[in-house]
């Protein structure tokens, strides 16, 4: 039996190696420079969850078998296509690049073996994200089902495993895209204008982890800057009598505090001489959480956090301001849609993710508004690490309304799905210090029960601000009043209890031949023919923007946008990230000068706590 298992494993690995050698990306309309680095042996090899990191794990990214069937079909006998996970089936980097409709079903299959030293432990199967509805089998046994295209999920697959030989993993996915009412952002079946290519199926890392029966299942980290403390709650699955959680904070290798509590545990830990996190100084503390029973270590995860506070306060003129760490702080940055010409929703590499954030900072911005998309954890990790504030949109879906229309009425299924995915967003990304604002609605897209949804977000996360409705569907709730103006700029009328922000402006367009999704018929909100004219127009906008800080109490502005996206060419960079389309130095100088002037204007008195 042992001989057969080794032979089967050798055959599986050898044949997989041969197929990997034959694999190649599909020929898409445009690609980034990172696409050349992608292969079946190195598809997103990084540990995908930086704030709950385990030492032992097995990455299941790479080549999988794929079949596309009718939605109602049962498991197919043949899997005629090879797909590179975690790239969506519509993308060039998947090797498939085929559209998927609401009438189709995706079937993924691959083999895996369980390392010998994992035997007699529990094994978790983790998915970063699968769009939209997934059912999972291991060795023919159903081990779980999940709905939601943006949040991660885990399954204990121990009882379905074979400890020796090859296990079969099968995943079935159905994704209606805009034929359904679920959150889907700007994905559509027929891309046009500001609506882009859809992402279906697995689009984030898949991995295995060994754990004990009692193990850490989640962390909730809440910095309390005013009290010079951090509150950490550790959720534990399978907790047993006598279990303790031990928590240790380190600052650049030096131990700051250590404490323990009965599991599941929540500990408030003081931090002397707090080093606050900000875009100007993105200081992070390391956190280790260990689950023990007596002297026996059952589980250990590594994490980190930043000590920062986001709030509202008054300046000397009485304007309500966005405040960071109890001081007014003007926030300025691009609308960031997170699309890639070769990976669609999935960046080619981790370095590509990082590069977008580095360029945003290099251009003098301190903010990105993540627009109707939720990114993999590692995008927020780089924002935490490099110092970029984030306004996080909830992906839109269902029906859309105009500026004067009432909120939509959702079906029970649509309402349940929206709230489930909203809660998954707030709890799943809530430990990242970079996120300072939740944005449930944009321009009336899927806007529903606005007042109650704002209150629900506040219940889930009372530490952050909420932009209830970015754009024109104002309901008088939330922490900011937000207007969009193209090309702008502009500012809403100041209010006593909410900060005034410019949620979108700009949209200056320039197609650059050789760097566009299609050769002709690209568009921007206002189009230009060369980099010099585009730069002059941008500098003119910025020169008009920053006086609004002092004159009208403007607290933030979001420029459209980080990159071109498909036929929309109003990016600071081309879609392939090869070019900054304006004079990079002039843009950076103007942005930094404006932020310096806004700092001297707004930071006249301490913010109210």
Domain containing 228 equals 218-305
Q: Are residues 422 and 276 in the same domain?
A: no
Q: Are residues 222 and 350 in the same domain?
A: no
- Domain of residue 535, CATH code: 3.20.20.80
Q: Are residues 258 and 363 in the same domain?
A: no
In a domain, 177, yes or no: yes
Number of domains in the chain: 3
Q: Are residues 15 and 111 in the same domain?
A: yes
- Domain of residue 275, CATH code: 2.60.40.10
CA–CA dist 322, 467 (Å, integer): 12
For 140-242, strand residue ranges (E) read 141-147, 153-156, 167-174, 187-188, 196-197, 201-202, 206-211, 215-224, 229-237
State the pLDDT at residue 363: 98
Q: Are residues 244 and 300 in the same domain?
A: yes
Please, which contacts does 377-380 make with residues 24 or more away whose CB atoms are closer than 8 Å?
377/48, 377/49, 377/50, 377/51, 377/128, 377/152, 377/429, 378/46, 378/48, 378/50, 378/350, 378/353, 379/338, 379/347, 379/353, 380/429, 380/432, 380/434, 380/435
Q: Single out the residue in 184, 211, 238 at which a domain terminates.
A: 211
Is the CA virtual torsion 479, 480, 481, 482 positive or negative?
A: negative
DSSP state of 606: P
Write down the residue that tokens 């495993």 correspond to: 161
Beta bridge partners of 109: 65, 170
Q: How far is CA 460 from the centre of its chain?
A: 18
Kindly give the pairing relationship between strand 215-224 and strand 62-70. Answer: unpaired
Q: Are residues 510 and 597 in the same domain?
A: yes
State the pLDDT at residue 300: 98
Kindly write down the DSSP assignment for every residue of 427-466, as one continuous string. Answer: HHHTT-TTEEEEE--BTTBT--SHHHHHHHHHHH-TTSEE
In a domain, 608, yes or no: no
Q: Are residues 224 and 340 in the same domain?
A: no
Q: Are residues 249 and 358 in the same domain?
A: no
DSSP state of 563: B
Query: Do 605 and 327 touch, CB atoms closer than 8 A?
Result: no
Segments of the chain scoring below 50 in pLDDT: 1-15, 606-609
- Domain of residue 163, CATH code: 2.60.120.260
Percentages helix, strand, coil for the chain (3-state, rounded to 5) are 20, 35, 45
Q: Where are the alpha helices (DSSP H) in 336-482?
A: 350-362, 377-386, 412-429, 450-460
Query: Do 395 and 421 touch, CB atoms closer than 8 A?
Result: yes
529 class by beta-carbon count within 10 Å (0-12 exposed, 13-18 middle, 19+ buried): exposed
Is the CA virtual torsion 357, 358, 360, 366 positive or negative?
A: positive
In a domain, 607, yes or no: no
Q: Single out the residue in 211, 241, 268 at which a domain terminates.
A: 211
In a domain, 609, yes or no: no
In a domain, 539, yes or no: yes
Query: Do 400 and 445 touch, CB atoms closer than 8 A?
Result: yes
Q: Are residues 365 and 443 in the same domain?
A: yes
State the pLDDT at residue 23: 86
CA–CA dist 104, 253 (Å, integer): 52
In a domain, 40, yes or no: yes
In a domain, 583, yes or no: yes
In a domain, 530, yes or no: yes
Q: Are residues 444 and 563 in the same domain?
A: yes
Q: Are residues 394 and 270 in the same domain?
A: no
Cα–Cα separations (whole angstroms), residue 107 to 75, 172, 447 = 8, 5, 33
Q: Are residues 559 and 425 in the same domain?
A: yes
Which of 546, 487, 534, 493 lies closest to 510, judged by CA? 534
């Amino acid at each position: 039996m042992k001989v057969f298992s080794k032979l089967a494993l050798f055959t599986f690995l050898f044949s997989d190696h041969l197929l990997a050698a034959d694999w190649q990306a599909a020929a898409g309309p445009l690609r980034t420079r990172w696409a050349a680095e992608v292969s079946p042996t190195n598809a997103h090899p990084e540990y995908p969850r930086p704030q709950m990191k385990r030492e032992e794990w097995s990455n299941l990214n790479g080549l999988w078998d794929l079949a596309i069937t009718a939605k109602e079909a049962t498991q197919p006998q043949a899997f005629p296509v090879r797909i590179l996970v975690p790239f969506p089936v519509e993308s060039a980097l998947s090797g498939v690049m085929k559209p998927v409709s609401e009438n189709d079903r995706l079937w993924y299959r691959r083999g895996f073996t369980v390392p010998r030293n994992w035997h007699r432990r529990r094994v978790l199967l983790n998915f970063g994200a699968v769009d939209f509805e997934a059912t999972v089998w291991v060795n023919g046994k159903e081990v779980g089902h999940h709905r939601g295209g943006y949040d991660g999920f885990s399954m204990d697959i121990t009882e379905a495993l074979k400890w020796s030989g090859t296990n079969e993993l099968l995943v079935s996915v159905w994704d209606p895209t805009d034929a359904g009412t679920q959150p889907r952002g700007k994905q559509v079946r027929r891309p046009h204008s500001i609506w882009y290519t859809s992402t279906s199926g697995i689009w984030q890392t898949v991995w295995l982890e060994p754990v004990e029966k009692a193990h850490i299942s989640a962390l909730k980290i809440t910095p309390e800057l005013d009290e010079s403390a951090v509150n950490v709650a550790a959720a534990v699955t399978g907790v047993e009598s006598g279990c303790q959680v031990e928590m240790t904070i380190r600052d650049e290798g030096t131990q700051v505090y250590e404490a323990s509590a009965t599991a599941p545990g929540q500990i408030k830990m003081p931090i002397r001489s707090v080093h606050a996190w900000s875009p100007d100084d993105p200081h992070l503390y390391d956190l280790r959480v260990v689950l023990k029973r007596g002297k026996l270590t059952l589980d250990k995860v590594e994490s980190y956090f930043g000590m920062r506070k986001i709030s509202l306060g008054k300046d000397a003129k009485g304007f309500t301001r966005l405040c960071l760490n109890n001081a007014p702080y003007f926030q300025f940055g691009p609308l960031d849609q997170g699309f890639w010409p070769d990976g669609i929703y999935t960046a080619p590499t981790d370095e590509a993710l990082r590069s977008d954030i580095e360029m945003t900072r290099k251009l003098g911005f301190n903010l990105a508004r993540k627009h109707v998309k939720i990114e993999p954890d590692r995008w927020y990790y780089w924002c935490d690490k490099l110092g970029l504030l984030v306004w996080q949109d909830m992906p839109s879906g269902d029906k859309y309304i105009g500026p004067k229309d009432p909120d939509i009425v959702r079906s029970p299924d649509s309402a349940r799905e929206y709230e489930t995915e909203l809660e998954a967003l707030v709890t799943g990304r809530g430990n990242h210090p970079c996120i300072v604002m939740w944005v449930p609605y944009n321009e009336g897209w899927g806007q529903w029960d606005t007042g109650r949804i704002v209150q629900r977000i506040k219940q889930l996360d009372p530490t952050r601000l909420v932009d209830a409705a970015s754009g024109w569907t104002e309901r008088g709730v939330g922490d900011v009043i937000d207007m969009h103006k193209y090309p702008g700029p502009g500012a809403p009328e100041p209010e006593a209890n909410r900060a005034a922000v410019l949620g979108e402006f700009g949209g200056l367009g320039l197609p650059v031949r050789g760097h566009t999704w299609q050769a002709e018929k690209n568009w921007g909100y206002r189009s230009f023919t060369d980099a010099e004219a585009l730069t002059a127009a941008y500098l003119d906008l910025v020169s008009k923007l920053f006086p609004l800080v002092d004159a009208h109490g403007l607290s933030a502005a979001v420029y459209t946008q980080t990159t071109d996206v498909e036929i929309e060419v109003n990016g600071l960079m081309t879609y392939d990230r090869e070019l900054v389309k304006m004079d990079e130095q002039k843009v950076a100088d103007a942005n930094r000068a404006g932020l310096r002037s806004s700092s001297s204007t707004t930071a006249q008195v301490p913010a109210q706590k």
